[in-house]
Structure 1
């Protein structure tokens, strides 16, 4: 008979995604508040260098992919996170739908008390730095599509680890 105490979830309310709040985990991909370079006869505003793309290791290269993802219901009970130790991973929404970003600092194992959650405005993307623990894509209302930039090349580049206790994530009321 197991007499151990039940595992209690760590409760977390997602905060708005801002460059300052997300800086320790990577980059916020958005044009808001940035200066643009006018190109194509002034018909296009170009916003350069929005994220640092990392591809570590010999033979590594950046790849561009499309992800189609299904929604999750809230509150979300997160049990595990993943990380990519050999490269960054960027997600840019194509459908203007807000999504949740759940992260923890790099390290050997993610800890529930270090997990942070952010909600995007649907026009923002994120670029996780190499080694940052994160949840898989978390769209909430309807299926959504993302452009993804990450690393391809030799060697394993995805670690999945259980949290020391589940994290319950909600949005602010």
Structure 2
């Protein structure tokens, strides 16, 4: 039987088991630069697994996928966190499963951002690669660089019948 995964609106509380929501809405700030700038401080923390690891910044340019999307694989980063911040302020989708040796399909959840939210996956959280809702979308990525394999991939069996709805009204 097909399992249809429907995205729910992203909130800090819903996403807490998987990582942090990076947003200014509802976040504390303090004034800097002679009172001309609000600093929303420490919205998330970059997690690095080893002393010689470095936090790096990249840009991913993602293409829109076709929805409903068959879920064939998930990945995780066992040595550090990974943050996605949308540069075009457009909604994007997030698909996650609880940490473990391999993803448990029963724990898979989907979220949709409001376009002003980014996320930071905690170390070891299973997730789908970036899921754009736009023809082309750019994301600022903050993640780990260093020795060791920091990307495990898990492919579901061919008889897996999970699909992700887009969550975007047509």
Both proteins in one fold, TM over 0.5: yes
**2:156 counterpart of 1:169:** no
Contact in 2 for aligned 1:27/1:51 (Cα 8 Å): yes
Q: Distance in 1 between matches of 2:89 and 2:82?
A: 19
Q: Distance in 1 between matches of 2:38 and 2:168?
A: 34
**2:16 counterpart of 1:16:** no
The aligned length equals 166
**2:77 counterpart of 1:84:** yes
Contact in 1 for aligned 2:84/2:142 (Cα 8 Å): yes
Aligned mate of 1:147, from 140, 158, 170: 140
Alpha-carbon deviations, 1:54-112, whole Å to 9, x = none? 10024211111111111112111111000000000000000011000000011111122
Moved over 3 A (4+): none
Partner of 2:105: 112
Aligned mate of 1:49, from 42, 54, 78: 42
Q: TM-score, normalised by structure 1?
A: 0.91
RMSD in angstroms over aligned alpha carbons?
A: 1.3
Question: Does 107-116 or 151-160 show the bigger shift?
Answer: 107-116
